[in-house]
Structure 1
Amino acid sequence: MSVVLIGGMDRLERQYVDEAERAGVSLRVFNTAKPGIAAKLKNVDAVVIFTNKVSHRARNEALSAAKANKIPVFMHHACGVCTLRECLKCMHIINHTGGMKDV
């Protein structure tokens, strides 16, 4: 599974990637708004946005790209490693049950 994380803290980037690897997920992290972020979201399975550590522009661009490509988006205000871990667990449950009805 390939996931993109938008936002978060620079100093935790390595921990985010390590946690995703433990969950069997390939994670790309964009801590800041970068030009052309929408093009980088086309081939991912999900997008996680940490809303307290991201600009409105980056958030809106990511949401638009995800909606256009029918990519699920998980938004959380907190930006800790535990938040990412819980989000990855939720994605795992959704993928293995076939939808949100059992979550």
Structure 2
Amino acid sequence: MCVALVGGMDRLERNYITEAAKLGIDLRVFTKPETEMAFKIRNVDALVIFTNKVSHKAKREAMNVAKAKNIPVFMHHSCGICTLRDCLSCLKNTNKGEKNV
């Protein structure tokens, strides 16, 4: 499973990736707007946006891609490791339920 994270803190990027790896999730982190960000996130399974630490431009670009590609979006105001861990755990549990149906 591949998830994109838009927003968050630069200094926590390595921790975000480590926590996702513990859950078996490939995480792509975008803490600031990047060139061709839309191209890089168009094939992810889900999108997580930390709304307190993201530029309006990056959020808007990510939301447009998610809407066009029908990617589920999870928005959280806080940007801590625990918030990401909880979100990814919930996402992983949701996907398990869909596969069993």
Fold conserved between structures, TM > 0.5: yes
Q: What percentage of aligned pairs have identical amino acids? A: 58
SS state at 1:64 partner: helix
CA distance in 2, matches of 1:47, 1:84: 11
C-alpha deviation, 1:35, in angstroms:
2.0
SS state at 2:79 partner: coil
Letter in 1 for 2:30: F
Q: TM-score, normalised by structure 1?
A: 0.92
Q: TM-score, normalised by structure 2?
A: 0.94
Extract unaligned runs of 5+ from structure 2. Answer: none
CA displacement 1:23-49 (0-9 Å, x = unmatched):
000001011011221111111101100
Write out the 4+ residue segments of structure 1 that deviate beyond 3 Å after TM superposition. Answer: none
Letter in 1 for 2:28: R
Q: Could you say which residue in structure 1 is the equivalent of 2:38?
A: 38
Aligned length: 99
Extract unaligned runs of 5+ from structure 1. Answer: none
Q: Could you say which residue in structure 1 is the equivalent of 2:51?
A: 51
Letter in 1 for 2:52: N
Query: Cα RMSD over matched residues?
Result: 1.2
